Structure 1
């Protein structure tokens, strides 16, 4: 059961930027973004690291910035 004070909607996971959850009628549903993508709270979707909003980059893990060709 989710925190009853949260309104219905989508929320970023405070521990993992590649995860998010949705509250529906007080019930929490957890989601995982696809490989190499992170939840963008303003767009309410998963995006690539360079598409993340300013200020959120420091929350991303170091592998988000690895060169995929290496």
Structure 2
């Protein structure tokens, strides 16, 4: 049985991953303009990200996406 836990991508808050039943990593991209919220296990709009969340150093949102709310 696959582990259904969704995990944040360490380098890109618009991406997340999970393991399939064989232990292989499956990567996913949030929909345009949304970011992965690790506590909710869902992609959300920037204003719904956890208070105090900061993007990885040097990361910038894809062109045309709203910026993350910074702490």
TM-score normalized with structure 2 length = 0.69
Among 27, 44, 64, the alignment partner of 2:66 is 64
Bigger fraction of residues in strand: 1
For the aligned residue pairs, the C-alpha RMSD in angstroms reads: 2.4
Structure-2 separation of matches of 1:23 and 1:64: 29
TM-score normalized with structure 1 length = 0.70
Question: Highest relative contact order (Cα 8 Å, sep 6+), 1 or 2?
Answer: 2
Q: Cα offset for 1:10?
A: 1.1
Structure-1 separation of matches of 2:8 and 2:47: 17
- Whichever of the two has the greater Rg, that structure is 1
Bigger fraction of residues in helix: 1
Question: Structure 2: any 5+ residue segments left out of the alignment?
Answer: none
Secondary structure of 1:53's aligned partner: coil
Question: Structure 1: any 5+ residue segments left out of the alignment?
Answer: 1-7, 66-70
